[in-house]
């Protein structure tokens, strides 16, 4: 089965160091391809991809203010012409791999793999705000649903195409009161049962950990995340230079690690 990591980036020259961590940490644990949807590229951007041994696929996005929404359409276009069977679809600038992310995927039972942030929508102000502003009619249905992160998704090619298309359509019809609507779209689809055969990993599974809610950021105590996550899952921890579950399983993926300065420094050390 052919596997790949795919993500989207603009300003590639300026973000070379971040892209390097994303690509090299993945290749450390997986033999899959690394593909970058390179937004509004120039020759220097393409050279950076060549230096990093990344497959560069140039795309155009007229207004990069909406890059989180528009990347969905370009990802779908790429997947449609690809012969790769299984994809990781992730953010680029703030994702680091600590193990092979494909090993925990039960492909006999599930087609799509996503992960929760450990808090419910009504416990997390940012996601609540986006849903209220852009999809007010969906807020009641989503209120008690766990925040599911659109920055780390995976699955079989055909099923990913279908899910990403639905997400893009929701981004396009949402009220334009926020420029980042892809995560709200994912939560809406899940809360309404529109994504079949989906595995939602939680913080005890050791697949993905999202520092915005589950890491010791400035908001961890102030917004009440620490108490909630400690009660439900146990608090993720830094152990032997790796981010682990509360029972010491290494997370395959750490997302938004740059929001925790001392974790950031340790995690990127071997890629500098």
Residue 84 lies in a domain: yes
CA distances from 128 to 23, 72, 183 (A): 32, 22, 11
Residue 250 lies in a domain: no
Residue 1 lies in a domain: yes
Residue 163 lies in a domain: no
Residue 34 lies in a domain: yes
* HSE toward the beta carbon, residue 103, CA cutoff 13 A: 15
pLDDT at 28: 97
For 11-20, the pLDDT digits (tens) are 999 999 999 9
Contact (Cβ atoms closer than 8 angstroms) between residue 255 and residue 210: yes
| DSSP annotation string for 125-171 | HHHHHHHHHH-GGGHHHHTTSEEE-TTEEEEEHHHHHHHHHHHHHHH
pLDDT at 127: 98
Residue 192 lies in a domain: no
41: phi > 0 → left, psi -120 to 50 → alpha, else beta; which? Answer: beta
Q: In a 10 Å sphere around its CB, with 0-12 CB exposed, 13-18 middle and 19+ buried, how is residue 228 labelled?
A: middle
Encoding tokens for residue 185?
A: 């779209």
The DSSP symbol for 250 reads: B
pLDDT at 81: 98
> Domain of 87?
1-95
CATH number of the domain within which 7 lies: 3.90.550.10
Residue 9 lies in a domain: yes
pLDDT at 272: 84
Q: Which residue has the tokens 């529109």?
A: 194
Residue 88 pairs with which residues in a beta bridge?
5, 154
Residue 156 lies in a domain: no
The number of folded domains in the chain is: 1
Output the pTM of the full model.
0.97
Taking the C-alpha atoms of 268, 237, 262 and 267 in order, what is their torsion angle to the nearest 10 degrees? 0
Q: Give the C-alpha separation, 124 to 224, whole Å.
A: 9
pLDDT at 165: 98
For 171-196, the pLDDT digits (tens) are 999 999 999 999 999 999 999 999 99
Residue 58's contacts (CB-CB under 8 Å, 6 or more residues apart) are 38, 41, 46
pLDDT (tens digit, 0 to 9) for every residue of the chain, 272 residues total?
A: 999 999 999 999 999 999 999 999 999 999 999 999 999 999 999 999 999 999 999 999 999 999 999 999 999 999 999 999 999 999 999 999 999 999 999 999 999 999 999 999 999 999 999 999 999 999 999 999 999 999 999 999 999 999 999 999 999 999 999 999 999 999 999 999 999 999 999 999 999 999 999 999 999 999 999 999 999 999 999 999 999 999 999 999 999 999 999 999 999 998 98
The DSSP symbol for 35 reads: E
């Amino acid at each position: 089965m052919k596997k790949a990591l795919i993500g989207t980036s603009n300003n590639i020259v300026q973000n070379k160091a971040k892209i390097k961590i994303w690509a090299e940490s993945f290749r450390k644990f997986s033999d899959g391809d690394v593909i970058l949807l390179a937004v509004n590229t120039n020759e220097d951007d393409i050279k950076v991809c060549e230096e990093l041994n990344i497959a560069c696929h140039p795309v155009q996005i007229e207004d990069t203010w909406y890059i989180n929404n528009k990347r969905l359409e370009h990802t779908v276009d790429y997947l449609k012409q690809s012969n790769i069977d299984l994809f990781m679809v992730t953010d680029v600038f703030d994702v680091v791999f600590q193990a092979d992310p494909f090993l925990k995927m039960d492909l006999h039972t599930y087609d799509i793999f996503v992960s929760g942030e450990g808090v419910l929508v009504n416990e997390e102000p940012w996601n609540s705000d986006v849903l209220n502003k852009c999809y007010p009619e969906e807020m009641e249905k989503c209120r008690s649903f766990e925040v599911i992160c659109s920055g780390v998704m995976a699955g079989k090619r055909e099923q990913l195409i279908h899910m990403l298309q639905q997400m893009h359509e929701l981004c396009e019809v949402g009220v334009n009161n926020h420029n980042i609507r892809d995560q709200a779209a994912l939560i809406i689809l899940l809360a309404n049962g529109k994504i079949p055969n989906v595995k939602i990993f939680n913080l005890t599974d050791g697949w993905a950990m999202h520092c915005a809610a589950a890491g010791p950021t400035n908001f961890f105590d102030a917004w009440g995340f620490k108490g909630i996550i400690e009660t439900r899952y146990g608090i993720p921890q830094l152990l032997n230079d790796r981010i682990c579950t509360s029972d010491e399983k290494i997370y395959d993926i750490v997302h938004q690690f740059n929001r925790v300065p001392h974790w950031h420094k340790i995690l990127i050390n071997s890629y500098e």
